[in-house]
Amino acid sequence: MTKWRGLFLLSLLIGLIAILLVYHMNREVPVVARPTVTLETHLADSAKDFFARNNIDPEPRTKTDSGELYEDWGILAFTAFAGRPEDPEGYILKYKAGDCTATLPAGRYVQVDHEAGFFTTISSTLPLDPVSFEDVMVLSRQIGDGFDKAGWKRTQYKPDIKQETFGESSLGSKFEYFGKWMLCNDPNLRVSIQIKYYNTLPSGPSIPPVPGSPLPKDYPDRYVIEVMFDSPGSDIEDEATELRDARRVAVGGDKDKPSTLKSWIDDPAWRPEGWQGKIIK
């Protein structure tokens, strides 16, 4: 009797172990995104310095999937799709400006416009997911307060935007400027906070509902923020374009024949004879 009882208990134990193994093998493994990544940069930054400073391999950023090299002008885009494990959770843009350095909240998209590998415009779209009107106004004030504390000077400020009249004067996608600031030690450099109505924007990397898919008709009103650094009163873009064209002529004999971004990463110090740049030395 004892023998059969022992065999029964052993069989029961083996069965229980088998069930646990099957459960363990078939249960869903949660997808964990990589940590949020900080990108530190500034206007007139060079692509080579940017990649080195932020520990980013430049090679994948210089060519298409088919191996074709990107041209010497265009954009560098950093996208963190929600729920994609190979992407970071988001990107934090840190604008490097000495005592006036400002750090933004995390977002899913950072874009850098460049000419000859020198940055002419920098923008971040945030937060990680679209939010209600009340929340986007709170976040806009927090970002604006951050620029104030960093020493940036207000040139435009509109904290009393109303949801009922939002975007009445805009064409296409609805937006409103919350404010604009000048860099504290350079009045030619500017940052703007623009609130955008998410429901009228092209599908982006945020969820809900699903990245890249159209919004359902009953989707609630949601908003995102674009913070953009540019230089409307400086020579950054003009100098970068002039430098780009000079290298095109030197290499290919035609300023309308593009060179490559890779050439500027490999040799960002190239200058034509007699170059006298005020910003790009």
Q: How many domains does the chain have?
A: 1
pLDDT tens digits, one per residue of 109-162: 999 999 999 999 999 999 999 999 999 999 999 999 999 999 999 999 999 999
Residue 162 included in any domain: yes
Q: Where are the beta strands (DSSP E) in the chain?
A: 37-41, 73-79, 91-95, 102-107, 109-115, 118-131, 153-157, 175-183, 186-197, 223-230
Rounded to the nearest 10 degrees, how much is the dihedral formed by the CA atoms of 30, 33, 35, 40?
-170
Give the pLDDT of residue 7: 39
280 lies in some domain: no
Residue 89 maps to a domain: yes
Average pLDDT over residues 196-207: 75
pLDDT tens-place string over residues 97-122 = 999 999 999 999 999 999 999 999 99
In the chain, the largest separation of any two C-alpha atoms, in whole Å, equals: 103
Instruction: For residue 159, tell me if it sits in a domain.
Output: yes
Residue 11 has a pLDDT of 46
Q: pTM, whole model, 2 decimals?
A: 0.84
The answer as to whether 264 is a domain residue is: no
On whether residue 207 sits in a domain, the answer given is yes
Examine the pLDDT at 211 and tell me if it is beyond 90: no
Bond from prior residue into 232 cis (ω within 30 degrees of 0)? no
Residue 1: inside a domain: no
Residue 226 lies in a domain: yes
**What residues make up the domain containing 51?**
37-237
- Check whether 5 has a pLDDT greater than 50: no
Mean pLDDT on 185-211:
78
pLDDT class for 8, splitting at 50, 70, 90? very low
Residues 6 or more apart whose Cβ sits within 8 Å of residue 13: none
In this structure, the dihedral spanned by the alpha carbons of residues 137, 121, 180 and 138, taken in order and rounded to 10 degrees, is: 10
